Amino acid sequence: MALRWILALAASATALPTIATISSRASTPASNHCGAPDSSVIVSGTPWIVYSMNYNYQDIDGTCCTGFAGLVTGADGEQKCAWDSTWDIAKVDSTSNVPKGYSFVGLTQNLENTISDIASIPATYNWVRSNETAYKGNVCFDFMTSDTKGDSTSSSAQELMLWLRYEGGQLPIGWADGAVATIQLYGKTWKLYQGVNTDTGITVSSLLVDQADQYYGYFAGDIKDWLLAMVKQGLFTSSTYVNVGNAGMEPFYGTVSFKNKLGLKINLA
């Protein structure tokens, strides 16, 4: 799993909604971010940072890049971040089960507030995938909470993953122990897996939608509903702090491109 908490330091495909063309109103120019190990851009006037985190860059046989394309207005009238994730990573048997990094858009505003102090976390996530080869990876949300404000590195922090789509046999931490719960959320059935990331000592709680009911290019929902579902499971209380929040892809291998549009923000109560 990626060392995603460093972000805190920076402060069914049947009918996808129509999204406008990329706007020239973005004061931050388009850019592409590749290489080792990290590269990012904070998008001025928005709550977002676009981040290429190739934390296992030494295992990348090829390239993995994250690009900021601009800002768009969705059919809901809300501003979205247009970005892309492009992988050209050879499948090497010795590293095929190693995540090469995390390509994502993260929040920079209204973090380090408790769940009870948050009114909502509205999210829309569009992605269009084109792949030339089979690939391994997922599309997910990734949040980190702790009973300590700002903590995203100690073993007391919690990493939460919401897997919308997963390909190539990627498995979550704790898979071997089996699901610890089955949850109804966003009108779908999800299974909860838990395990400790041995690199960090942090417990990772991954919620996977049933494989037959995965999302195909579009998700919309209130992320606070997910957090409250984890409260109900006893992972933490509503007084825990939301210290990191983002959405993106975890690349393992393959030649594939994702064109994405993300709307994500924290509204305080």
Closest to 105 measured CA to CA, from 129, 82, 126, 75: 82
Topology of the domain comprising 4-162+216-268: Jelly Rolls (2.60.120)
Report the share of the chain in percent with pLDDT over 70.
Answer: 90
Cβ(68)–Cβ(41) under 8 Å? yes
Hey, what amino acid is at 8? A
* Separation CA 124–CA 81 (nearest Å): 10
Which H or E element spans position 206? strand 202-209
pLDDT digits (tens, 9 = 90+) for 153-164: 999 999 999 999
Number of H helices, E strands in the chain: 1, 17
Closest to 212 measured CA to CA, from 189, 236, 185: 189
Residues in the chain: 269
Cβ(167)–Cβ(148) under 8 Å? no
pLDDT given for residue 26 in this prediction: 57
* Separation CA 40–CA 51 (nearest Å): 4
* Separation CA 172–CA 183 (nearest Å): 16
pLDDT over threshold 90, residue 18: no
H-helix segments, the chain:
223-232
Closest to 221 measured CA to CA, from 192, 249, 250, 187: 187
pLDDT digits (tens, 9 = 90+) for 82-140: 999 999 999 999 999 999 999 999 999 999 999 999 999 999 999 999 999 999 999 99
Which residue, chain included where needed, has tokens 């499971």? 233
pLDDT over threshold 70, residue 2: no
Domain boundaries, the chain: 4-162+216-268
Alpha carbon 153 to chain centroid distance? 18
Closest to 18 measured CA to CA, from 124, 118, 106: 124
pTM, entire model: 0.91
Residue 129: phi, psi to the nearest 5?
A: -105, 135
Hey, what amino acid is at 141? F
Q: Which residues pair with 128 in a beta bridge?
A: 259
Report the share of the chain in percent with pLDDT over 90.
Answer: 87
pLDDT given for residue 4 in this prediction: 42
Residue 198: phi, psi to the nearest 5?
A: -65, -20
pLDDT over threshold 70, residue 25: no
- Both tokens assigned to 187: 């009108």
Q: 150 CB contacts (<8 Å, ≥6 apart)?
A: 8, 112, 241, 243
Cβ(95)–Cβ(236) under 8 Å? no
Radius of gyration of the chain (CA): 17
- Both tokens assigned to 109: 């505003």
pLDDT digits (tens, 9 = 90+) for 26-43: 589 999 999 889 999 999
| Mean of the per-residue pLDDT values of the chain | 91
